[in-house]
């Protein structure tokens, strides 16, 4: 059991930094509450599972081509710019209240988490680099052991996401609406900043 703890801590340390995915999660928690942030994180976890499986199959070598990297940077740029600008424009939008609409919004949060994480180059490079290193370093591991260590990494990520979703949604009850709007705006601007950064990397990769 003690051999699994480092992988659990690895998941925590990798999920803790505030990148574009975490900025969006915090923004959703502030604007729409815990469940929207939590469903967003579950969507991101679905992306993590997808990339873990692809890396396990050895697909990572295709990502090393400059043309593929430029496509990934470009998609990441578009998604983050669109999401960040949309969040800025809808900060004061009234939430939907009916149960049916709530289900639609939760589903939308899940899909948003999946797509933003899927098209986030940092997520791709993370799983290729970190998880790929885990597989290479554990060349003597069997399939069951790789699966258990992978679950430990995901549990660490889930723990951080749960804490962030709880803090962001709980802050709605403590802090003033004006302050929450400022925090939401800052997280949205950070997403736009990441989008611009990815756009620059795409441009450099192409030209």
Give the 3-state DSSP-derived string for 72-121, with helices as H, strands as E and coil as C.
Answer: HHHHHHHHHHHHHHHHHHCCCCCCCCCHHHHHHHHHHHHHHHHHHHHCCH
Instruction: Please state, as a whole number, how many other Cβ atoms lie within 10 Å of the Cβ of residue 151.
Output: 14
* Amino acid 135: pLDDT: 62
What pLDDT sits at residue 60? 57
- Domain extent for 158: 2-206
CA distance 70 to 88: 27
Tens digit of pLDDT per residue, the chain (207 long)?
556 787 788 778 767 766 778 878 888 888 788 888 899 999 999 998 888 888 777 765 665 667 766 776 787 687 778 777 876 776 655 444 445 445 557 888 899 889 888 877 777 766 766 666 666 555 566 777 777 888 888 898 899 889 888 887 777 666 656 666 676 677 678 778 878 887 887 788 777
The candidate with the shortest Cα–Cα distance to 199, out of 107, 93, 22, 70, is 70
Q: Output the six-digit token pair for 19.
A: 């990148």
Give how many domains the chain has, as a whole number: 1
Angle at 144 between CA 139 and CA 146, to 5 degrees: 45
Contact present, 178 and 69 (Cβ < 8 Å): no
| Conformation bin of residue 95: beta by default, left when phi > 0, alpha when psi is -120 to 50 | beta
What was the pLDDT predicted at 96?
A: 40
Predicted pLDDT of residue 98:
44
């Amino acid at each position: 059991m003690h051999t699994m703890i480092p992988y659990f801590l690895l998941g925590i340390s990798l999920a803790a930094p505030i990148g574009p995915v975490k900025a969006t999660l915090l923004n959703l928690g502030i604007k729409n509450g815990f469940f929207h942030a939590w469903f967003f994180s579950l969507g991101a976890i679905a992306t993590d599972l997808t990339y873990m499986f692809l890396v396990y199959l050895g697909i990572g070598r295709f990502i090393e081509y400059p043309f593929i990297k430029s496509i990934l940077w470009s998609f990441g740029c578009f998604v983050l710019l669109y999401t960040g600008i949309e969040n800025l424009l809808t900060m004061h939008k009234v939430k939907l209240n009916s149960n049916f609409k709530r289900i639609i919004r939760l589903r939308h949060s899940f899909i948003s988490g999946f797509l933003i994480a899927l098209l986030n180059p940092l997520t791709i490079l993370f799983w290729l680099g970190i998880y790929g290193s885990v597989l290479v370093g554990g060349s003597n591991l069997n399939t069951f052991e790789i699966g258990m260590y992978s679950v430990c990494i995901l549990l660490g990520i889930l723990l951080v996401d749960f804490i962030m979703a709880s803090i962001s949604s709980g802050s709605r009850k403590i802090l003033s609406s004006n302050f929450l709007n400022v925090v939401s705006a800052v997280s949205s601007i950070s997403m736009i900043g990441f989008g611009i950064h990815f756009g620059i990397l795409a441009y450099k990769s192409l030209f």
